[in-house]
Structure 1
Amino acid sequence: MDDGPPCKRCTERNLSCVLNKSLQTLIEERSQWKNTVISDLGHIHSALEQVLGRLSLPTLPPLQTNASQHIEASPHEDVFEREEPGPSCDNSPRVSPRDDAVPHVPIESLYQITRLRALRSDDAGDESQLSPTAAPTHPVNDFISHGLVSFEDAERLVNLYLNRIDHFMYMIGGGKYRDLESLRRGSPILTACICAVAALHDPMSNHLYGVCKREFQRLMAASMFDRRVDRDHMRAICIGSYWLHDLSWTLSGYAIRRATEVNLSSSYHRVLANNSEEAMECMRIWYVLYICDHHLSILYGRPSIVREDASISGWEELMRTSVFTESDKRLVSQMALLIIMSNVRELFGPDIGEPVPKAFASQLTNFGRQIDQWMGYWTTELLKLHQFIGEFPTKGVILHHHLAKLHLHSHVFRGLKGAPVPSYFQESASAAVSAARSTIEMLLNDYDIRESLVGIPHYLHSMIAFACVFLVKIATQHSGQYIEDTIVYDLTTKAVQQFRSTAVGKWHLVHLMADGLEKMAFSKIRSPSDTTHPRIANGVSPSGLHYVQSANTTLPLATNGNELYGGDLTGSSFENDFNLGTSSFLHFGSGDFDFNFTGFGI
């Protein structure tokens, strides 16, 4: 028997090859196994034909594989690769003007001498790196065509997202797509993400949320090591980070890495130089990534990734370009506030359990003044949008103002562990309590803010939860000093009722927050009559809030522009000692809100 030529490895090392000596035996065994499988399939096919004939049912199509059609595979096709292929190199490397210059980026030097393709960074400012891919003309093969979600349900979810929810992310998520068909042909991962976010907000789609979310996660995992991603892919990651609270931290960090890989922030200079609409679209994605990054930084008490370079701090320059729209004002207004919040975080640093130094009192006053100036400017500037999207833009500014003030002044409770607030921080302590109370009262009394609970990013839900728990802890540790306990109990109870009455899916944060907050309030604060407010059936609660608890509640579309910035949740025990600090409090990985976290604060 001819053993065949030696393998590449033995040839290179001038060795006697033993692998090919048994190659023929291996081929014969695999061939015998294939013939046996084909024969067994034939028997099964024949038996099914007989059963179908007896039942007068249509016959099966003939087998496409049989023993006579079997072609012996070649040894090179039948045997697994014996060696791991090395990294790919560029046979025709790009010629760069920098090749002749003294290198200043180390990776460029390594690429020049190795030509390893994986080391090659894309040219800065190459907008084609995030260009949308051409829509395929062949039939779409996705989770909808496979029947995991019906076409009717998918169409309903996409319409809900495009007509209602996308407004909260400044109309960036949907891009050029205005219907399901074009979306499916343009981007499978964007389709899955949009359906997942819409199902999260729709009380009629609880059974679809898990399916859509799993498909989005599957596509994300499959694309993790793709050399490049297109603009629609980046939109999908932004959407997931903005609304899917249990995935946001992972998605945000990954998206920022991919964005820096193609130097997305350099689009800023192209907008200023050329008024490029495509470059402005890239900047909108970059700004949403900045917002998501800094929202998460506030929620978790961790450092942010994106720094305030020229593309971030120079947003005012963009406002003077022809491609800057009225809707873009909402986007940059949020960035302007987060720049202030970033400076606050840099000053106070991480919570190490120590009280805030007295010297910070003047800084608190200074930052508070900046937040007030921010509100004064943008409530006036966004009034121009009312003719298009209603009253919510300026109301959203006021809500963000309250939350920013709460975040800023709550630092004075850091490290006290229930001890009295020092006299030089009393004004800030009162300001924090006032901001938390104003947040909840605005949620309860303003129709546009209540309606926005369906659609706003999970950051705002988290901050509203913080305001509620902050007041409960103030009533526990500083009873009657800054606010009456009965007022805290009343506000908290009404907030719980409002959360329950909001028509969203059962996995949405507002529903997940309700039970835990109710138990915390009842555990720590007694009502005036020393009785709890019972849950109410459909109708009107004692607070006067309309309460609907129905799985079939329809989700109304926004008609007055409610758009802007955009498990068991009860906890194990509510008897832990409270510590009003500024540590992170959200444990999204478990899907639960832990209202008993001892460092609950921001």
Structure 2
Amino acid sequence: MATTWFLGLVLRQSLTWPPSYRSTEFMVQDLEMMHSGLQKVMRSLNLPPIGRLHSSRQMLNTPTSEEPTGLHQDDEIGPSCDNSPKISPEDDQDLPKVPIHSVYHLTKLSALRSPDSSEGEHAAPKRLSNSVDDFISKGMLSLEDAERLFRLYMDHLDHFMYGIGGRHKTLDALRRSSRILSVCIFTVAALHDPRSNAIYSVCSKEFRRLMAASVFSRSIDRDYLRALCIASYWLSDISWIVSGYAIRRAAEFNLTSHYRRAITEGNEEAADYVRLWYILFVCDQHLSILYQRNPTIRDDFVVQGWESFIQSPVTNDEDKRLVSQVALLNIVHKIRELFGPDTGEPVPQVYLGQIASFASQLDRWLGTWSTALKEHHNQIGSFPRKGVLLHYQFALLYLYSHVFRGLRKTSIPAYFLDSAASAVNAATAIVSMLTADADIHSALAGMPSYLNSMTAFSCMFLVKLAMIHTELVDRSMVIDLTIRLIDLYRSTAVGKWHLVHLMADGLEKVILTLRKSNIPSAQHFGHDAMPAMGIEPHDNFGDFGESMFPEDSSLVFDSNFLMDYNVTLGASQLMYMSNGPTAFETSDLSPSLL
């Protein structure tokens, strides 16, 4: 009845509209106002919402043969405005609280209005149809391949992200709920599947297309945020861009406001919001470590209140694993704040006390979570507990590697020798654990890109020390460890664009350089000695590096990289090791970052 009334009203109203350009604009405004009113009526009657309007004032920017071509200056089309009555001060007795609300009431700019609740998270149930319009229905991906990728993600990969991404239990439910989430899951699964190299390119291109098309969308839902979290966690080539964007879009949901309901009421929906915020925090902190940049999410009561969240009756074993990461990254965040950005200055000796304090905090974290997590996980075996030890070593390496800052051509100060040795021990333990532990081997095809990136840094850290600080590490040991890591990466059953395969190519060239070079430790010679060794100061070591590799080598290797004095963590240490697909470099979203 309501729909019939609406259509009749539109028909009667349309007969009175004169065929002028400005009247056409008014017609669209009136349609939008009536459409919005009818949406409210449908909600009040608990009926499904009507579809979106196909008309838009933006269509008026392109004149047609039936529209007047000579527009006057006063006919120019400006931003979209609402036609609802203006609110005067006496209509609203409350003082303005949100500044943008005041601007909206004064201007009626539609873009400033909060998205209609019918289009957002609390929308009425979606109308189901017999068909789904996505890139599977268009024949770009077969249903058989989609089902296989869906099962790979649900049965294996999602457990590495604490079960946050796989909320839909069937492929059909996933496709009907969110196109961008389904495509993101297919992309990540194809990246980890050695049989899906061609499929990965199709899925990745479709995911980027949907991302680009949705950047200015005013209505998103939790499935959209889930897709962004998954991409930030695994897709290393776009993770930095997507993570920052995801945090900004998550602000529209005010995720932190659900924390109280989660811990006091044990509300599952509220807990789901908190989990999304925690995984965004984890990705943000991981990327800040890798790129030596400030995180977007600062300390807040939700991040600091992880202990109360884990005591909520709605939390589970996966939540414990997630919260263990939040607790660890809280410590790492404080380490980053202590040392600050790398200005090239040496670390003061007075920092020894803080370094020892952070090491004690990390020891306590290890003692707590190495026993708090279950010994065996049904889907990923003993990785959760083994992962605690791996993350502990990563944090130690991050802490102690700071003492190499600003050393340049000088020796390591005596008061930092123990810290330097601890950094070497942590890096060695990481690579050794990865290559020697069978449980870690099976988990390699599923680890987030952060773990693979930190492993690469650990290996490159040891390689650089073998070149410039030979008193700290034995070169033959580093070569042996690196070769074992290359063999492991080569034997890992993942797609050819996965980081472990790309990094194996880079590590292989590093070993060739390390084996064939007889260059003594950099601290034992200065620039005056370099020409006598056949090395020109400041050159790129081009002949030295390139002569070792075949002419068709797809990776340009800069041997001078191994001889610079910067052995602290940063994206530059990882960048050259990735030789990703051309699609990454031409992406609308981001070039290859790792």
TM-score range, shorter chain: 0.7 to 0.9
Question: Could you tell me which amino acid in structure 1 is paired with residue 271 of structure 2?
Answer: M
Tell me if 1:84 matches 2:86.
Answer: no
Question: Could you tell me which amino acid in structure 1 is paired with residue 578 of structure 2?
Answer: D
**Residue 463 of structure 1 aligns with which residue?**
454
Instruction: Give the number of the structure whose alpha-carbon radius of gyration is greater.
Output: 1
Length, aligned pairs only = 490
Question: Could you tell me which amino acid in structure 1 is paired with residue 566 of structure 2?
Answer: L
**Residue 195 of structure 1 aligns with which residue?**
186
Question: Could you tell me which amino acid in structure 2 is paired with residue 157 of structure 1?
Answer: L
Following superposition, the deviation at residue 243 of structure 1 comes to: 0.6
Tell me if 1:346 matches 2:337.
Answer: yes
Q: Once the two structures are aligned, what percentage of the paired residues are identical?
A: 47
**Residue 579 of structure 1 aligns with which residue?**
565
- CA–CA separation in structure 2 for the residues paired with 1:332 and 1:273: 18
Alignment partner of 2:475 out of 479, 485, 504? 485
Question: Could you tell me which amino acid in structure 2 is paired with residue 228 of structure 1?
Answer: S
Alignment partner of 1:101 out of 94, 98, 110? 94
* Secondary structure of 1:575's aligned partner: helix
Tell me if 1:522 matches 2:512.
Answer: yes
- CA–CA separation in structure 2 for the residues paired with 1:190 and 1:130: 18
Residue 322 to residue 238, structure 1, CA distance change in 2 (3 Å) = same
Alignment partner of 1:357 out of 338, 342, 348? 348
Instruction: Give deviations 1:314-367, integer Å, cap 9, x for gaps.
Output: 011112211111210000001111111111111111112111111111111111
Residue 285 to residue 568, structure 1, CA distance change in 2 (3 Å) = farther
Tell me if 1:162 matches 2:154.
Answer: yes
Instruction: Give deviations 1:112-166, integer Å, cap 9, x for gaps.
Output: 333333224579x999637796363141111111111111111111111111111
Q: Which has the higher contact order (CA 8 A, sep 6+)?
A: 1
Alignment of 1:419-568 (within 5 A): 419-479=410-470, 481-525=471-515
Residue 166 to residue 78, structure 1, CA distance change in 2 (3 Å) = farther
Tell me if 1:226 matches 2:217.
Answer: yes
Instruction: Give deviations 1:42-84, integer Å, cap 9, x for gaps.
Output: xxxxxxxxxxxxxxxxxxxxxxxxxxxxxxx996569799742
**Residue 242 of structure 2 aligns with which residue?**
251
Following superposition, the deviation at residue 580 of structure 1 comes to: 2.8
**Residue 584 of structure 2 aligns with which residue?**
none
- CA–CA separation in structure 1 for the residues paired with 2:194 and 2:442: 15
Tell me if 1:408 matches 2:394.
Answer: no
Following superposition, the deviation at residue 571 of structure 1 comes to: 3.2
Following superposition, the deviation at residue 87 of structure 1 comes to: 2.1
Tell me if 1:117 matches 2:110.
Answer: yes
Following superposition, the deviation at residue 107 of structure 1 comes to: 2.0
- CA–CA separation in structure 2 for the residues paired with 1:473 and 1:147: 49
Residue 351 to residue 95, structure 1, CA distance change in 2 (3 Å) = farther
- CA–CA separation in structure 1 for the residues paired with 2:199 and 2:409: 45
* Secondary structure of 1:486's aligned partner: helix
8 Å CA contact 1:513–1:569 kept in 2: the answer is no
Question: Could you tell me which amino acid in structure 2 is paired with residue 427 of structure 1?
Answer: D
Normalising by structure 1, what TM-score?
A: 0.75
8 Å CA contact 2:190–2:199 kept in 1: the answer is yes
- CA–CA separation in structure 2 for the residues paired with 1:134 and 1:382: 38
- CA–CA separation in structure 2 for the residues paired with 1:517 and 1:392: 25
- CA–CA separation in structure 2 for the residues paired with 1:377 and 1:126: 45
Instruction: Give deviations 1:522-577, integer Å, cap 9, x for gaps.
Output: 2124599xxxxxxxxxxxxxxxxxxxxxxxxxxxxxxxxxxxxxx97633321343
- CA–CA separation in structure 2 for the residues paired with 1:166 and 1:309: 27
**Residue 570 of structure 1 aligns with which residue?**
555
- CA–CA separation in structure 1 for the residues paired with 2:70 and 2:396: 63
Alignment partner of 1:185 out of 176, 193, 200? 176
Tell me if 1:148 matches 2:134.
Answer: no
8 Å CA contact 1:240–1:251 kept in 2: the answer is yes
8 Å CA contact 1:122–1:262 kept in 2: the answer is no
- CA–CA separation in structure 2 for the residues paired with 1:200 and 1:482: 38
Alignment of 1:382-393 (within 5 A): 382-383=373-374, 386=377, 390-393=381-384
- CA–CA separation in structure 1 for the residues paired with 2:273 and 2:86: 27
Residue 388 to residue 512, structure 1, CA distance change in 2 (3 Å) = closer
- CA–CA separation in structure 2 for the residues paired with 1:98 and 1:288: 42
The alignment yields a C-alpha RMSD, in angstroms, of 3.4
Alignment partner of 2:272 out of 267, 272, 281? 281
- CA–CA separation in structure 2 for the residues paired with 1:94 and 1:449: 62
- CA–CA separation in structure 2 for the residues paired with 1:406 and 1:97: 62
Following superposition, the deviation at residue 270 of structure 1 comes to: 1.9
- CA–CA separation in structure 1 for the residues paired with 2:400 and 2:506: 25
- CA–CA separation in structure 2 for the residues paired with 1:588 and 1:90: 54
8 Å CA contact 2:479–2:514 kept in 1: the answer is no
Following superposition, the deviation at residue 172 of structure 1 comes to: 0.9
Q: Which runs of 5+ in 1 are unaligned?
A: 13-72, 529-566, 595-601
Following superposition, the deviation at residue 273 of structure 1 comes to: 3.3
Instruction: Give deviations 1:476-519, integer Å, cap 9, x for gaps.
Output: 1111x222211111001111111111111000000000121121
8 Å CA contact 2:507–2:577 kept in 1: the answer is no
Question: Could you tell me which amino acid in structure 1 is paired with residue 136 of structure 2?
Answer: I
Residue 211 to residue 80, structure 1, CA distance change in 2 (3 Å) = farther
Q: Which runs of 5+ in 2 are unaligned?
A: 1-17, 27-62, 519-551, 581-593
- CA–CA separation in structure 2 for the residues paired with 1:303 and 1:251: 16
**Residue 137 of structure 1 aligns with which residue?**
129
Normalising by structure 2, what TM-score?
A: 0.76
8 Å CA contact 2:21–2:67 kept in 1: the answer is no
Residue 473 to residue 333, structure 1, CA distance change in 2 (3 Å) = same
* Secondary structure of 1:254's aligned partner: helix
Instruction: Give deviations 1:373-422, integer Å, cap 9, x for gaps.
Output: 11110001003665775311110000000111001100011111242111
Residue 235 to residue 7, structure 1, CA distance change in 2 (3 Å) = closer
- CA–CA separation in structure 1 for the residues paired with 2:342 and 2:579: 20
Residue 484 to residue 181, structure 1, CA distance change in 2 (3 Å) = same
